[in-house]
Amino acid sequence: MKRGVKYRGRSSLVKPAEDRQTTQLQLLEAAGQEFAEKGFERTTAKEICERAGTNTAAVNYYFGGIEGLHAAVLEEARNRLFSADAVSKAVAGKSDPKARLEAVLDVVARALTGPLSSSWVFRVLGRELVSPSSMLETKEKVILPRARQLRQFIAELMKLPEDHPAVARGCVSLMAPICMLILADRNHLARALPAMGLKPDDAPAIARHMFRYALAGMEAVARDARKEI
């Protein structure tokens, strides 16, 4: 892998650890904005580097290419929306799956109504939901493991085998309103449903609604499904 043009005996890309971290963050932010505006297929590494104000070889140097950067951007977007640290703190000490679900939805609702809703994060995730990239490696490493975790959790909540069709449908039922709030244009949604409330102060009420709605549906479906087993 090329490490940039030599400058005074050192590569122009070789920097102290703190500078490297800053450059990586600049690339992630610039790439997030570019991917949000144009999508993965129409974005070039050169455009990202220009936006980040970095050496044109920086994408290859730090991420191994634009595919690796795209994977990193998707992971960063998901972490900002579903912060692993925030989720871990929210569910700490909660053994009951219902209590864990309620705690997680509270974290999600706060993210959905916070500053992220006007950032590149939602637009990048929205593009990936509507028009998924063809990056199989990203799906294998990032998306599928999280899907398995969700499936295991819903199976525990519904008290059904993990491979039961009702569990898969329960996953979709839980994720549907979250995806809707990621994809929807906030201005249009506010005009169409003015009483809904999409401000940070509305987060607790949104979380309670999603929890009660999802739980009631899954419990009803699970009761019928267990009768058929």
| CA 193/CA 211 separation, integer angstroms | 20
| CA 29/CA 38 separation, integer angstroms | 14
**Domain segments of the chain as ranges:** 10-76, 82-228
Q: Regarding the domain delimited by 82-228, which CATH topology (the fold level of the hierarchy) does it fall under?
A: Tetracycline Repressor; domain 2 (1.10.357)
State residue 10 phi and psi, 5-degree precision.
Answer: -130, 155
What's the CATH number for 10-76?
1.10.10.60
| CA 222/CA 144 separation, integer angstroms | 24
| CA 196/CA 96 separation, integer angstroms | 29
Q: What is the pLDDT along the chain (229 residues), one digit of tens a residue?
A: 333 433 333 444 555 666 888 999 999 999 999 999 999 989 999 999 999 999 989 999 999 999 999 989 998 998 888 878 888 999 999 999 999 999 999 999 999 999 888 889 999 999 888 887 776 566 666 677 778 889 999 999 999 999 999 999 999 999 999 999 999 888 899 899 999 999 999 999 999 999 999 999 999 999 999 888 7
Query: How much is the pTM?
Result: 0.78
Q: Which of 170, 167, 160 is nearest to 229 (CA)?
A: 160
State residue 11 phi and psi, 5-degree precision.
Answer: -70, 145
